[in-house]
Amino acid sequence: MTELFSKIKEVTELAAISGHEGPVRDYLKRQLEPHVDELVTDGLGGIFGIKHSQVAKAPRIMVAAHMDEVGFMVSEIKADGTLRVVEIGGWNPLSVSSQRFTLLTREGQALPLISGSVPTHLTRGSGGNPSLPAISDIIFDGGFSDKVEAESFGIRPGDTIIPESSAILTANGKNVISKAWDNRYGVLMVSELAQALSKETLANQLYLGANVQEEVGLRGAHAATSKFEPEIFLAVDCSPAGDVFGGQGAIGQGTLLRFFDPGHLLLPQMKDFLLTTAEEAGIKYQYYCGKGGTDAGAAHLMSGGVPSTTIGVCARYIHSHQTLYALDDFLEAQAFLQALVKKLDRSTVDLIKNY
């Protein structure tokens, strides 16, 4: 587990919001290159390693994480030197106030920021409880005396703001607390899959890598799927755990069989394939009804229709500075993904596509 935690710490502490995925792309390039036949990027910046097949009519299988995490961009520099922002990806305003962030300038400088909050002292006598703020109204403060000083440090509208957080193990050693498990989970899954299959001869042509800009509308999946035209698409993504809120998705209970979300329905033949493979391989899994979407929702509508699913885990408190998740769930998901990819030959893919 020590080695796995070290890998998680490395990948979750990378700073890369939507549209600015360069650090994660560089990481994936280093991880994939020794284990694939070639590396290819799409026009938006997604990166995929290809393992070519010598099998006639080998099906094209795409395994895709997404590189981006949620964050913010500077929208305005106020006269007093404070900043206002636009959210990149979904944020609950209750998770934003009184947190540390890092602002990255165009020149690559990393500057410390905090998000403001209103001390209780200043709300006394106001005649009521403070209302939930809009993200656009939350003050981001780097301690600059005025706009001129802020600009002298290279700050401009459009600069990116990333949560400042370090990965740690929980006291029982079973779980990790970090930012960005959505979706550095998927990035690490792809990296580990490439290493595990490095010497394997597959009965499919495998495209494994990660898309960009998932958190702002599944944009990278459109570009990658239209470029590579897979016959089966396996998104690899993290979902919110509802266990402590009385809902579905419990950490430590294995990988997810995600049968529904607002943008994607699991096809019967795909569900049969997933269940049969999980049971044959002894995979620990749980059923999951998603409230949000993954890249499978975009991919399944491309190229005339692509049977798709999401190989996922759940984590508590995602889209925040501090997400909590189980190490064992990652291992179950990785074993499941490897078993699925190894089984996807021509006859299996044709069976999944037989409506």
Assess if residue 169 is contained within a domain: no
The domain of 35 spans: 2-69+179-352
Q: CA 225, CA 63: separation in Å to the nearest integer?
A: 11
Report the CATH number at residue 341. Answer: 3.40.630.10
**Are 229 and 156 members of one domain?**
no
Whole-number average pLDDT of the chain: 95
Assess if residue 167 is contained within a domain: no
Q: CA 23, CA 156: separation in Å to the nearest integer?
A: 21
**Are 17 and 92 members of one domain?**
no
**Are 158 and 31 members of one domain?**
no
Q: Are 199 and 39 in contact (CB under 8 A)?
A: no
**Are 38 and 118 members of one domain?**
no
**Are 49 and 78 members of one domain?**
no
pLDDT digits (tens, 9 = 90+) for 31-60: 999 999 999 999 999 999 999 999 999 999
Residue 266, helix vs strand vs coil: coil
Q: CA 262, CA 277: separation in Å to the nearest integer?
A: 25
**Are 267 and 141 members of one domain?**
no
**Are 214 and 189 members of one domain?**
yes
Q: CA 142, CA 17: separation in Å to the nearest integer?
A: 20
Nearest to 335 by CA among 282, 294, 286, 295: 282
**Residue 6: is it exposed, middle or buried by C-beta count within 10 angstroms (0-12/13-18/19+)?**
exposed
**Are 238 and 309 members of one domain?**
yes
Assess if residue 62 is contained within a domain: yes
Q: What is the pLDDT of residue 125?
A: 53
Assess if residue 171 is contained within a domain: no
Helices (H) and strands (E) in the chain, counts: 9, 18
Q: Are 212 and 21 in contact (CB under 8 A)?
A: yes
Q: How many domains does the chain have?
A: 2
Assess if residue 172 is contained within a domain: no
Which residue is catalytic, options 21, 164, 214, 231?
Answer: 214
**Are 64 and 84 members of one domain?**
no
pLDDT digit of tens for each residue in the chain (355 aa)? Answer: 689 999 999 999 999 999 999 999 999 999 999 999 999 999 999 999 999 999 999 999 999 999 999 999 999 999 999 999 999 999 999 999 999 999 999 998 999 999 997 665 545 555 556 677 889 999 999 999 999 999 999 999 999 999 999 999 999 999 999 999 999 999 999 999 999 999 999 999 999 999 999 999 999 999 999 999 999 999 999 999 999 999 999 999 999 999 999 999 999 999 999 999 999 999 999 999 999 999 999 999 998 999 999 999 999 999 999 999 999 999 999 999 999 999 999 999 999 998 7
Q: CA 314, CA 244: separation in Å to the nearest integer?
A: 12
- Phi then psi for residue 260, to 5 deg, are -155, 140
**Are 239 and 118 members of one domain?**
no
pLDDT digits (tens, 9 = 90+) for 162-183: 999 999 999 999 999 999 999 9
Assess if residue 33 is contained within a domain: yes
Report the CATH number at residue 137. Answer: 2.40.30.40
Assess if residue 246 is contained within a domain: yes
Beta-sheet pairing, 308-315 with 232-240: parallel
**Are 103 and 83 members of one domain?**
yes
**Are 199 and 316 members of one domain?**
yes
Assess if residue 234 is contained within a domain: yes
In this structure, what token pair is assigned to residue 222?
């459109």
Strand partners, 325: 176
Is 215 one of the annotated active-site residues of the chain?
no
Q: CA 98, CA 19: separation in Å to the nearest integer?
A: 26
Structure pTM?
A: 0.95
